Amino acid sequence: MGTRLALRIQERYEELTPSEQKLAQFLLDRPDEILASSATELARFTGVSKATAARLFRNLGYNDFNDVRLQAREERNRTGPVQQIPMPQAAVDEVVTVPTHLQVESANLTRTFEELRPDVLNAAAEQIGGAGRVWVAGLGIENGIARYLRILLTRVRPGVHMISENAATWPEELASTGPNDALIIIAVRPWTKQIATVLTFARTTRLKTIVITDPTNTGKARRKEATVLNCHVSTPWSELTQTSVLSMAQLLAATVANRIGGRAKARRDLIADLAEEIESGDI
């Protein structure tokens, strides 16, 4: 569960103008900054004008920046003293040190899994465990992680397939799916048209869809009636980090295994044995 501000942003993200999105993005990545900083500072951080900032908050349905701040404060008081690991500032020299890296990764992991609702995770696992076949998709940089997830799932249940990296052939590949199948899409920002297309397709064919994504896109995915697993991926510099995405994949696979139970374990052992035999050259 995120803050109310975050929810509003996710709902209206597409309607926002580009500079508003820049600022909104920042607020999603670092919600605590609302409490500590003035609107002027937020604008400066993200390189937009004060005017744009004022407009954004109005467009999100607040009267005032003050409204926003008050709401944020109220929410902070309500949620217990969760020891959030703060995201470091952008270092001026832009050099990534090992401790900074660790802190960034920890912050993202912590936020990701403290926000993750177990019922959502279980729903996703249920869909995957109960599906006839499972399809895993990941474009571009996410492709490697998608393959990783596929292998994890293959260890646990049969019938897990990758959808090719070439988005052009997705229609053909997806054509053979049925309503008893499940589709897992790994897609952090930027959100491409292909993804939107596939999600629409999945909804019309009643394919169970699980989307692993970042807060910028949860709204879009949810509107397509997908189960959304939200991962924090931001860093103080401009790159993203996929660590929490991989970790989410790991957890998802483990949860599916739990759900399936004994059969999953048997299958894992079988695979381990096979791997060992191949390695030792007995075959």
Choose the binding region for a copy of itself from 50-58, 110-118, 196-204, 222-230 (rule: CB under 8 A): 110-118
CA separation for the pair 220, 198 (Å, rounded): 12
Please name which of 66, 69, 30 lies closest in space to residue 46, comparing C-alpha atoms.
30
Q: Are 178 and 278 in contact (CB under 8 A)?
A: no
Task: Please name the residues in contact with 261: beta carbons below 8 A apart, sequence gap of 6 or more.
Answer: none
- Residues 142-181 interacting with a copy of itself (rule: CB under 8 A): 143-152
Q: Is residue 36 involved in binding a copy of itself (CB under 8 A)?
A: yes
SS3 state at 185: strand
> Which residues on adjacent β-strands are paired with residue 210?
184, 227
Q: Of 238, 186, 232, nearest to 209 (Cα)?
A: 186
Q: Does 54 bind DNA (CB under 7 A)?
A: yes
Comparing CA positions, the residue from 127, 143, 252, 145 lying closest to residue 182 is: 127
Contacts of 120 (CB under 8 A, 6+ apart): 227, 228, 229
The residue (of 102 and 275) whose beta carbon lies closer to DNA is 275
Site string for DNA, 13-42 (x = CB under 7 A): ----xxxx-----------------xxxx-
Give residue for tokens 């139970």.
261
- Whichever of 57 and 148 has its CB closer to DNA, that residue is 57
The interface partner of residue 79, options being DNA, a copy of itself, none and the CB cut-off 5 to 8 Å by kind, is a copy of itself
Query: Can you tell me which of 5, 28, 48, 207 binds DNA, judged by CB under 7 A?
Result: 48
Write out the binding residues for DNA, residues 241-280 only, by CB under 7 A: none
Of residues 225 and 269, the one with the C-beta less far from a copy of itself: 269
Q: Which positions touch a copy of itself (CB under 8 A)?
A: 35-36, 73, 76-79, 82, 85-86, 88-89, 94-99, 101-103, 105-106, 109-110, 113-114, 116, 118, 121, 140-141, 143-152, 190, 192-193, 237, 239, 241-243, 246-247, 250-251, 254-255, 258, 275, 279
